[in-house]
Structure 1
Amino acid sequence: MSIVHPFLKACCMMDLPISLKWWINFLLCALLFGVSFGEVRYVLPEEMKKGSVIGNVALDLGLQVSELQARRARIVAEGTSQLCELDTASGNLLISQRIDREELCAQANICILQFQLLLEDPLQAFSLVLDITDINDNSPEFTTGDVKLDLVESTVVGRRFPLESAHDPDLGINSIRAYKLSNNDHFVLEMSTQINGNTYPELVLKKQLDREAEATHLLEINGIDGGNPVRSGTAFIRINVLDANDNVPIFSQRVYKASVPENSAIGTLITTLNATDLDEGVYGEITYSFSHLSDKMGGIIEVSPLTGEVRVAGVIDYEEASSHELGVQAKDGGGQASHCKLVIDVIDLNDNKPVIEIKSASANIAEVAKPGTMVALINIYDMDTGSSGRVTCSIPDNVPFKLESEVKNYYMLVTDGVLDREFQPEYNITVTATDSGSPSLSSVKVIIVMVNDANDNPPTFKHSQYNANILENLPVGTFVMKLEAQDSDDGINAKILYHISKDTNSEVSSFLTINPDTGELFTSRLFDYEQSAHFQIKVTAQDGGDPQLSTTCTINVFIQDQNDNAPVILYPVQTSGFIAEDVVPIEAPRGYLVTKVVAVDADSGHNAWLSYRIIKASQSNLFMADLHTGEIRTLRTFMEEDESKHTLVVLVTDNGRESLSATATVSITFGDGLPVLSELYEFADESQDNDNITLYLIIALSTVSFLFLLLISGVLYFNLCQRSYVYRSNTSSLPVFPTTYCTSTLTDFSRCGTLLREDRFDPFMTTGSWRGDFRFASNTDTDTLKKRSAAYQKSTLRHLSAERPSLKVRAGPTNPCYVIK
Structure 2
Amino acid sequence: MLRGSVIGNVARDLGLKVTELEARRARVVAEGTSQLCELDTASGNLLISQRIDREELCVQASVCILQYQLLLEDPLQAYSIVLDIADINDNSPVFAAGEIQLDLVESTVLGRRFPLESAHDPDLGTNSVREYKLSPNTHFALEMSNQINGNAYPELVLKKALDREAQAEHVLKINGIDGGNPIRSGTTSIHIRVLDANDNVPVFSQRVYKTSVPENSAIGTVIATLNATDSDEGVYGEITYSFSHLSDKMGGAIEINPLSGEVRLTGVIDYEEASTHELDVQAKDGGGQASHCKLIIDVIDVNDNKPMIEVKSASANVAEDSKPGTMVALINVYDLDTGSSGRVTCTIPDNVPFKLVSEVKNYYMLVTDGILDRELQSEYNIAVTATDVGSPSLSSVKVITIVINDINDNSPTFTQSECNANILENLPVGTFVMQVKAVDIDDGSNAKILYQISKDTKSEVSSFLAINSDTGELFTSRLFDYEQSVHFQIKVTARDGGDPPLSTTCTVNVFIKDQNDNAPVVLYPVQTIGFIAEDMVPIEAPRGYLVTKVVAVDADSGHNAWLSYRIIKATQPSLFVVGLHTGEIRTVRAFMEDDDPKHTVVVSITDNGPESLSATATVNVMIGNGLPVLNELFEFADESQDSDNLTLYLIIALTTVSSLFILLISGVFYCKLCRRSYVYRSTTDSLPVFPTTYLPPSFTDLSRCGTLLKDERYDSFLTTGSWRGDFRFGSSTDTDTLKQRSAAYQKNTLRQASADRATLKVRAGAPQPCYLVK
TM-score w.r.t. structure 1 length?
0.48
Q: d(CA) in 2 for partners of 1:616 and 1:280?
A: 163
What's the CA shift for 1:438?
2.9
1:435 is matched with which residue?
388
Q: Post-superposition shift, 1:560?
A: 3.0
Q: Counterpart of 1:660?
A: 612
2:458 is the alignment partner of 1:508? no
Which residue of the partner structure matches residue 554 of structure 2? 601
| Equivalent residue letter for 1:610 | L
State the distance in 1 between where 2:297 and 2:233 align. 32
Q: Deviations over 1:320-377 (max 9, x none)?
A: 6656677878788999998877564432211212111111100112233344432111
Could you give the per-residue CA deviations for residues 711-754 of structure 1, whole angstroms, max 9, x where no partner exists? Answer: xxxxxxxxxxxxxxxxxxxxxxxxxxxxxxxxxxxxxxxxxxxx
Gaps spanning 5+ residues in structure 1: where? Answer: 1-33, 35-151, 155-242, 705-821
- Are the counterparts in 2 of residues 651 and 661 from structure 1 also a CA contact under 8 Å? no
Provide the C-alpha distance between the structure 1 equivalents of 2:552 and 2:342, rounded to a whole number of angstroms: 106
Q: Aligned residue for 1:376? A: 329
Query: 1:380: Cα distance to partner?
Result: 0.9
Q: What's the offset of the Cα at 1:601?
A: 1.0
Quote the RMSD (CA, aligned, Å). 4.8
Whichever residue aligns with residue 386 of structure 2, its letter is A
Pairwise CA distance, 1:264: 1.8
Are residues 464 and 338 of structure 1, via their aligned partners in 2, closer, same or farther at CA, if it must alter by over 3 Å?
A: same
SS at match of 1:541: strand
Matching residue's letter, 1:513: A
Partner of 2:640: 686
Task: Tell me if structure 2 keeps the 8 A contact 1:565–1:660.
Answer: no
For residue 453 of structure 1, report the CA deviation from its aligned partner: 3.0
Name whichever of 473-482 and 324-333 sits farther off: 324-333
Residue identity (%): 75
Pick aligned residue for 1:562 from 512, 515, 521: 515
- The structure-2 alpha-carbon separation of the partners of 1:415 and 1:699, relative to structure 1 and needing over 3 Å to count, comes to closer
CA shift, 1:510, in A, is: 1.1
Structure 1 distance, partners of 2:395, 2:653, is: 98
Q: Deviations over 1:140-162 (max 9, x none)?
A: xxxxxxxxxxxx9x9xxxxxxxx
Cα 1:247–1:587 shift into 2, 3 Å: farther
3-state SS in 2 of match to 1:507: coil
1:355 matches 2:308: yes
Q: CA deviation at 1:496?
A: 3.2
1:673-700 CA deviation, whole Å, 9 max, x = no partner? 4755544444244324544676789999
Task: Find the counterpart in structure 2 of residue 410 from structure 1.
Answer: 363
- In the superposition, relative to structure 1, how do residues 376 and 576 fare at CA in structure 2: closer, same or farther (>3 Å)? same
Match of 1:747 in 2: none
Checking the alignment, whether the CA contact within 8 Å between 2:519 and 2:615 is kept in structure 1 is: no
The letter of the residue matching 2:358 is S
2:544 paired with 1:591: yes
Distance 2:329 2:513 in 1: 64
CA contact 1:467–1:556 (8 Å) conserved in 2: yes
Cα pair distance change 1:629/1:332, threshold 3 Å: farther
Partner-residue secondary structure (3-state), 1:509: coil
* Partner SS for 1:445: strand
Give 2:554's aligned amino acid.
D
Residue 494 of structure 2 corresponds to which residue in structure 1?
A: 541
Output one character per residue of 1:17-68: Cα deviation in whole Å (capped at 9) or x when no partner.
xxxxxxxxxxxxxxxxx9xxxxxxxxxxxxxxxxxxxxxxxxxxxxxxxxxx
Tell me which residue corresponds to 1:385: 338
Alignment CA distance shift 1:507-1:276 (3 Å):
same
Query: Contact 2:256/2:263 (CA < 8 Å) preserved in 1?
Result: yes
Show the 5 A alignment for 1:230-241: none
In structure 2, the residue matched to 1:518 is: 471
Relative distance call for 1:265 and 1:677 in structure 2 (3 A) is same
How far apart are the structure 2 equivalents of 1:617 and 1:295? 137
Q: Which runs of 5+ in 2 are unaligned?
A: 1-21, 23-102, 106-195, 659-774
Give 1:563 deviation, angstroms: 2.5
Counterparts of residues 329-368 of structure 1 (less than 5 Å): 344-368=297-321
Any idea what SS the aligned residue of 1:508 has?
coil
1:394 and 1:433 in contact (8 A); partners too: yes
**2:129 corresponds to which residue?**
none
Mapping of residues 727-738 of structure 1, within 5 Å = none
How many pairs are equivalent? 468
Cα 1:432–1:664 shift into 2, 3 Å:
same
CA distance in structure 1 between the partners assigned to 2:540 and 2:572 by the alignment: 18
Mapped partners of 2:258, 2:642: distance in 1: 141
| 2:401 counterpart of 1:448 | yes
SS of 2:637's equivalent in the other structure is helix
CA distance in 1, matches of 2:649, 2:297: 128
Deviations 1:592-642 (A, max 9, x none): 334433221111233222222345667665543322112233444567898
What TM-score, normalized to structure 2?
A: 0.50
* Displacement of 1:525: 1.5
Query: What are the within-5 Å matches in structure 2 for residues 218-257 of structure 1?
Result: 257=210
Contact 1:331 1:337 in 2 (8 A): yes
Question: Would the aligned equivalents of 1:563 and 1:603 in 2 still touch at CA under 8 Å?
Answer: yes
Q: 1:308 aligns with which of 261, 273, 292?
A: 261
The equivalent of 2:109 in structure 1 is none
Q: Given the alignment, which residue of 443, 450, 462 partners 1:497?
A: 450
CA 1:671–1:319 in 2, change beyond 3 Å: closer, same or farther?
Answer: same
How has the CA–CA distance of structure 1 residues 277 and 648 changed in structure 2, closer, same or farther, with 3 Å as cutoff? farther
Decide whether the 8 Å contact of 2:532 with 2:620 is kept in 1.
no
Give per-residue Cα distances to partners, 1:146-203, cap 9 Å, x unaligned: xxxxxx9x9xxxxxxxxxxxxxxxxxxxxxxxxxxxxxxxxxxxxxxxxxxxxxxxxx
d(CA) in 1 for partners of 2:273 and 2:569? 119
Answering whether residue 581 of structure 2 is matched by residue 628 of structure 1, we say yes
The answer to whether the 8 A contact 2:255-2:266 is kept is yes
Distance 1:546 1:665, change over 3 A: closer
| Alignment match, 2:748 | none
CA contact (8 A) 1:363 1:450 kept: yes
* 1:669–1:555 distance in 2 versus 1, CA, 3 Å: closer
